[in-house]
Structure 1
Amino acid sequence: MSVALAGFSPEELVLTVEQNVLTLEGHKSEKEGKTFLHRGISTCNFKRQFTLADHVEVKGANFENGLLVISLQREIPEAMKPRQIAINGPRRTT
């Protein structure tokens, strides 16, 4: 999963996972004494939430050149994986 975050640094970002919800927050420090006519996305605080599918884990994140790459991996528990059942021949009664 990739998110473009031009204008942000890793120190201004918070990435958390709680109960299958991945939350990404960006906080910019306020520039005191300045008045802006327009603020682009690179200067606004934001919060985005993504619902992860069952058994998907966040393995890590890497931030480089304004692009946040989040590594996700699906890990199915052994109990939920398909398994092959042996088929026996007919039973004989004596």
Structure 2
Amino acid sequence: MTTRPSPFGHPFLLGFDEIEQALDRVAKGGNDGYPPYNIERVPRSGDEPERLRITLAVAGFTQDQLDVMLEENQLVVRGRQVDDKARQFLHRGIAARQFQRSFLLADGMEVVGADLANGLLSIDLTRPEPERIIRKIAIVSRDL
């Protein structure tokens, strides 16, 4: 078995070890595709900055069956349903199921809020624009 060299092993890419580890986590996290989701860019309006909106199709889940958590730099959405044993189904096409969907967030991303409407869970994210820093580095002469 051969291993491919890391693209982050280039001598000009210093300090990107954490990004490489994050990409490895994402590659190993095998989601089964449920629930389906969209990610869209919401343009700035008025005083509101540009946002990203993640929308998950969570039909059948109530607000108390859903959790949205920020765990370090991962946004984790969990859904838990339990079978209602008192109900007797003649046909069962909508299964009560659990899910966990994770999104890896870049440094500086902030979760603005989440709302549930019409079976869609929307989570808004923003990244404050960093100020540009230009700094001159002094060169010290060490000649004797």
Under a length normalisation based on structure 2, what TM-score does the superposition of the two structures give?
Answer: 0.48
> Which structure 2 residues correspond to residues 39-78 of structure 1 after superposition, within 5 A?
40=94, 43-77=96-130
Rg (Cα) greater in structure: 1
Deviations 1:31-85 (A, max 9, x none): 22668775546x21111111011110101101001011101010245xxx21467
In the other structure, the counterpart of 2:64 is 11
Unaligned stretches of 5+ in structure 1? Answer: 86-94
Under a length normalisation based on structure 1, what TM-score does the superposition of the two structures give?
Answer: 0.71
Residue identity matched to 1:7 = G
Runs of 4+ in 1 over 4 A off after TM superposition: 33-39
In the other structure, the counterpart of 1:30 is 83
Higher strand share: 1
Instruction: Give the stretch that moved more between structures: 26-35 or 3-12.
Output: 26-35
Q: CA deviation at 1:25?
A: 0.5
In the other structure, the counterpart of 1:2 is 55
Number of residues of Structure 1 aligned to a counterpart in Structure 2? 81
Q: What is the CA–CA distance in structure 2 between the aligned matches of 1:53 and 1:29, rounded to whole Å?
A: 34
Unaligned stretches of 5+ in structure 2? Answer: 1-53, 136-144
Q: What is the CA–CA distance in structure 2 between the aligned matches of 1:62 and 1:49, rounded to whole Å?
A: 17
State the secondary structure of the residue aligned to 2:64. helix
In the other structure, the counterpart of 2:43 is none
Greater relative contact order (CA < 8 Å, ≥ 6 in sequence): 1
Q: CA deviation at 1:30?
A: 2.1
